[in-house]
Structure 1
């Protein structure tokens, strides 16, 4: 295993942060206001907690593992487990389709704890083994242990009901088991529904609240042989699980608990950081918080039961890593102190710090600046301080409640809800934030009065007021975002993919692009179809890599705006927008489209959306080295038809514009480039033909094949 070390200037930054933090907290001991211990001691304890968490963050992220794929040996026996309880048939269908089509021989099992006849039929239709039991003892862990009695595989791959694996999952993970001491291989849990509560979408970036853990922290844990088993998107050695008596059943987080037991016996873990499966992230704040509460309570249970810091079998690095993960769930108490300290100052008139304001601000700002830079740089661009604070506020009360896991022995296992939320439940889960915001807002008039009368120094009052404004702004942003997701009633995720699609009506074909594509419908943007109206039926053909999906669709709406009508009256075609609901036949034509949509990162790659944002010091180093990076795609898309001299027929393609460079063409097949080709491009309803030369630039992988990318160099143009 290789490791990735940070740049030297980041190492110096870390050293400065550690030294400055220690000096600041040592200085703060003498500034504790013992005339108001109820206010000053909790604040100091919260600052100590933050520094300790920062040190553990440095431990987990300073050095990251770099794993290279090891080819798997032939002849291994592999079973694939997909446990389910109450998930829908559609959701399971997509996961099982992807699981059965994985490369490398294996047997796929549907483990149904819901005992549903439609699940049995689904397994039979897709060629999977079906298994159920007469009770739900020990929830998911019990389901997995029950299945171990009926299979013979040397290795068990596990996917949650919503996680669709890539076809190369087994090929890229099995080879690590050539080392007989490796007990499990974990890969990232990535998510396809980038409109979830976990995600924030910007112009060039999709930020995932869990990405820092799965893309950075887990790699740091792996460098210390302390990577977690996360219960999905993983493969585990059967004999190792049998050594610990099966998957752990004593806590509600069977995955982490199982990892602890395996590490205690001296087994190794492997974390391979490439996303090889894609699932469904929590869609709203209630499902998000329920999931985090289960994780937190499970972490408390594991910490107490396994005596992480003092029991035998774990290395120092493993102890500290598991301790860091348990300590993380006490963040809620720290945040409560930070949120309530400013209103407490205004309402009581007491100050928590007995020191010169100028001295405090100088030392605090230096320490806080170093802390921010360390978290951004060691986060490798996956961190976002502003967004992280919003999520910390959203979950602070939920994390506080997980503390009961230290004392409760029996905590019921709760399956993460995959269904839509409702606005009423959203307000219930947001109530701690709203109460906090109300208390904070009420304190402002009293604080202004105390500043006016001189009972609170003006300087301290201004700092407190700024702190309050930040808290109220954060609460407002969290509330607005949570309400927006609770109000979203869309029943299925729509992929923002631009794919060539042709609609045929009355013997004439019309070319356009998909938008908001799902297995059951799409938005068509392209050439107008004069005779199509709402409720009408058209034949469709979606051009995927190595595959054309054909069937019929009903128009749910047809663009008939005033602007479109004015263009039509003036003889200008313009663009039409048509909502399509696919009318799949009884044989289940959706299988091909589902296979294509689920189990890849195409929506990020084709949309040129990055998961990271360059940290400030790294960006400065790039500017000094004059490394501007690669050009980015704009969102300027157009459909086109490519007429190739050496191939029969016409190939629909997608064309995107690149900032400062040639347009880029996406083809579903590899093109013959011996001669030039004629490209018919449609932009806003206007068609132009170009004689072009295409230069290959790369490929985008999808479950049905590769999209081939070409730079377009025009030779001549005719209209």
Structure 2
């Protein structure tokens, strides 16, 4: 199969220098030395309620640093790719829902100017007649959902792309968001990677033209669209970011077929589990004078176990179900004469189950539980087992398209799709060159909506398809995906980092045994080396704004975790909002958006004043106050970014004062 072709060797010059790797090793050693010492020798167990959360938060941060160091170990700076091969067929997909029509057309017209031969498609999930007319006037292909999607889950952008895949035929797909204006050479610069037949995806950076140098909303991501993606690329883990990416159609269609087979196999497995419960229950009610009936039920149960074992062994589904049905038929013939008196009582229930099968009604957990808990006669149990397998929804009637080429388990389809591609053996590449220019949020409310959606989607993937246990991924790939998911748990650590200095300055409660030389001699070198590592791998690219937002948006990260858990584990709806592409203006400064951060800032200031007063009266130590005041200043600096964000009014437009 194409996806399992061996990867070409990577020249040594594309990987980090020995000096960078030496810095990584030093950072890891110093960090491990600090955290081991903290756990073994420094926790103030008399104040465990703050001491333990603090050391847990520090452990979280160290793990985050170790994952970053592991990513940087194989930071890959690729040379220019080979020239784009002639004769490839390419579809350029521009996804849109409710974005302004002039914005969509600007992107589409730029896509038309891409030099490599291709077809440009506007995928309009809003089904707007005026956009269809405008596209037709410009010679741009226009596509909206097929009728088969009516009344079925739409799966947001992933569903839009799945629909387009089944109505187009290009070998390769360039996917663009409605605001991402491509350069004419984008395909010339990326298609060469696909000379490697195992290459499924080439991701390029997302860069925003409406962001000032100060980047008050933290929209540019130079650390991610740079060292982090390059590091993931070194471990064959560079992932799809939703836009500005070229994908191989064959790889996506393979995912769709594999997913379809997996879904059907899962349906059969669930039916077999229920069948086992049905037969077990029926065995308990067999009269002592009917050994042939007991033997027949025993043979059905053995057939159930054999079928489940065959499924786990990967045997063909049709072969497994055919053999199972033959075993059930033989058992039914054995008991039909011995159980005539009880058959009539079960006929209606079996007929209802057969009706489920004919109407392709999904056998959900409630239906399966009802079947398993019913008091069946022996023959009724056997017939219900047979009907259960027949009722498996082979056509996947609950979905508009039975083969889903992109992951639909999350509000952000990109990461989960890339992870499935890697698990299937495909390779990806990160091309570090800006080839499309987009629009970032221009107001804090839109920025927060975008960040919440990203975080919710990532946590959904973590809960539904945890990379640490996904088959097919290498250990490095598991860690690369986990590192991105892990980073969104930082909101809980941030709460502890903000609380600890307040508790000490106000109440004098020390989370460590003492502010000793041992403490600072271990902590300060780790902090310095960590920041030096950021500086070196970034090659002067400013990364501090991203570090600020990783802590300052702690309410967003906590809300994302909470809502994603409720959605995945408890079935609660997860509100989805497309990120607006135009400014959502407000006359006044929207301080209300940052109430938790402002409250923490006020608390830190009050705690600092109380701490100084307590020091004046000799209630706490000088070193403790100084250390925690430095801590407070650092926290205030981190949180100050939300003040800039709240006051930001977007880039100045032509004609604005």
So what's the TM-score if we normalise by structure 1? 0.65
Partner of 1:8: 18
1:382 match: 541
- Does residue 149 (structure 1) correspond to residue 313 (structure 2)? The answer is no
> In the alignment, which of 69, 73, 77 is matched to residue 89 of structure 2?
77
Instruction: Point out the more displaced range, 391-400 or 243-252.
Output: 391-400
SS at match of 2:407: coil
1:324-372 deviation line (CA, Å, top 9, x unaligned)? 0000101111222112211121222201111343332222212211121
Where 2:154 maps in the other structure, the secondary structure is: coil
CA distance in structure 1 between the partners assigned to 2:16 and 2:237 by the alignment:
20
- Equivalent position of 2:321 in the other structure: none
Residue range with higher mean Cα deviation, 122-131 or 312-321: 122-131
How do residues 38-49 of structure 1 correspond to structure 2 at under 5 angstroms? 38-49=49-60
More helix by share: 2
Query: Contact 2:589/2:646 (CA < 8 Å) preserved in 1?
Result: no
Larger Rg: 2
> Would you identify which runs of 4 or more consecutive aligned residues in structure 1 move more than 4 Å?
196-200
TM-fit CA distance, 1:69: 1.7
The alignment status of 1:308 with 2:467, answered yes or no, reads: yes
* In 2, Cα distance between equivalents of 1:167 and 1:17: 43
- Secondary structure at the residue paired with 2:188? helix
Report what 1:418 is aligned to: 581
The equivalent position to 2:524 in structure 1, one of 357, 365, 372, is: 365
1:254 aligns with 2:413: yes
- 2:371 corresponds in structure 1 to none
Q: Shift of the alpha carbon at 1:194?
A: 2.4
The C-alpha deviation readout for 1:218-274, integer Å capped at 9, x for no partner, is 111111111111111011111211111111112111011111111111111121111
CA distance 1:489–1:221, change in 2 (3 Å): closer
SS of 1:451's equivalent in the other structure is: helix
In 2 relative to 1, CA 438–73 (structure 1 residues): closer, same or farther, beyond 3 Å?
same
- Three-state SS of the structure 2 residue aligned to 1:36 is helix
Q: Deviations over 1:98-142 (max 9, x none)?
A: 101101111111111112122112212321111122658111111
What corresponds to 1:444 in structure 2? 608
Q: Is the contact made by 2:92 and 2:121 (CA closer than 8 Å) also made in structure 1?
A: yes
Number of the residue aligned with 1:159 = 176
- Which position in structure 2 is the counterpart of 1:36? 47
- 2:228 pairs with 1:64: no
1:647 match: none
Partner SS for 1:69 = coil
* Aligned equivalent of 1:472, options 636, 645, 656: 636
Give TM-score, length-normalised by structure 2: 0.70
Q: Distance between the aligned counterparts of 1:300 and 1:120, measured in 2?
A: 36
Q: Provide Cα deviations, 1:287-346, integer angstroms capped at 9, x if missing partner.
A: 222212111111111122223112211011100000100001011112221122111212
1:18 aligns with 2:28: yes
Determine if contact 2:515/2:623 at 8 Å carries over to the other structure: no
Q: Cα deviation per residue 1:456-476 (whole Å; 9 max; x = unaligned)?
A: 212101211222123234434
1:270 aligns with 2:282: no
Structure 2 match to 1:501: none
2:507, 2:453 → 1: CA distance?
Answer: 37
Count of residues in Structure 1 that have an aligned counterpart in Structure 2? 486
User: How many angstroms does 1:430 deviate by?
Assistant: 1.4
Q: CA 1:50–1:128 in 2, change beyond 3 Å: closer, same or farther?
A: same
Contact 1:43–1:337 (CA<8 Å) still a contact in 2?
yes
Question: Which of 506, 526, 529 is the matching residue for 1:347?
Answer: 506
8 A contact 1:33–1:352 mirrored in 2: yes
User: Matches of 1:261 and 1:198 in 2, distance apart?
Assistant: 34
Cα offset for 1:403? 1.3
Contact 1:154 1:237 in 2 (8 A): yes
Structure 2: unaligned runs, 5 residues or longer:
1-9, 257-404
Deviations 1:373-398 (A, max 9, x none): 1222123322433x344323431211
Q: 8 Å contact 1:197–1:284 — kept in the other structure?
A: no
Deviation at 1:488, TM superposition (A): 4.2
Which residue number in structure 2 is paired with residue 295 of structure 1?
Answer: 454
Alignment counterpart, residue 91 of structure 1, candidates 76, 82, 103: 103
Distance 1:413 1:326, change over 3 A: same
2-structure distance, mates of 1:425, 1:122: 38
Structure 1's 168 and 488: CA in aligned 2 closer, same or farther, altered over 3 A?
closer
SS at match of 1:52: helix
Contact map agreement 1:79 1:153 (CA 8 A) in 2? yes
The answer to whether the 8 A contact 1:60-1:221 is kept is yes
Deviations 1:523-561 (A, max 9, x none): xxxxxxxxxxxxxxxxxxxxxxxxxxxxxxxxx79xxxx
Q: Which runs of 5+ in 1 are unaligned?
A: 201-206, 493-520, 522-555, 558-578, 580-719
Give the distance between the partners of 1:419 and 1:249, measured in 2 at CA: 27
Q: CA deviation at 1:477?
A: 4.5
Question: Cα distance, 1:276 vs. partner?
Answer: 0.9
* C-alpha RMSD over aligned residues: 2.2
* Residue 270 of structure 2 corresponds to residue 111 of structure 1: no
The 1:315–1:67 alpha-carbon spacing in structure 2 relative to 1, beyond 3 Å, is: farther
Q: Residue 319 in 1 paired to residue 331 in 2? A: no
Distance 1:312-1:395 versus aligned 2 partners, 3 A rule: same
Which protein, 1 or 2, shows the higher relative CO under an 8 Å CA cutoff with sep ≥ 6?
A: 2
Cα contact 1:53–1:328 (8 A) shared by 2? yes
Structure 1 match to 2:598: 434
Counterpart among 484, 496, 499 of residue 647 in structure 2: 484
Q: How does 1:116-131 map to 2 (within 5 A)?
A: 116-131=128-143
Cα drift, residue 442 of structure 1: 2.2
Q: Distance in 2 between matches of 1:199 and 1:68?
A: 33
Q: What SS does the corresponding residue of 1:211 show, helix, strand or coil?
A: coil
Structure number having the greater strand percentage: 1
Q: Work out the CA distance in 1 between the residues paired with 2:133 and 2:70.
A: 49
In structure 2, what is the equivalent of residue 168 of structure 1? Answer: 185
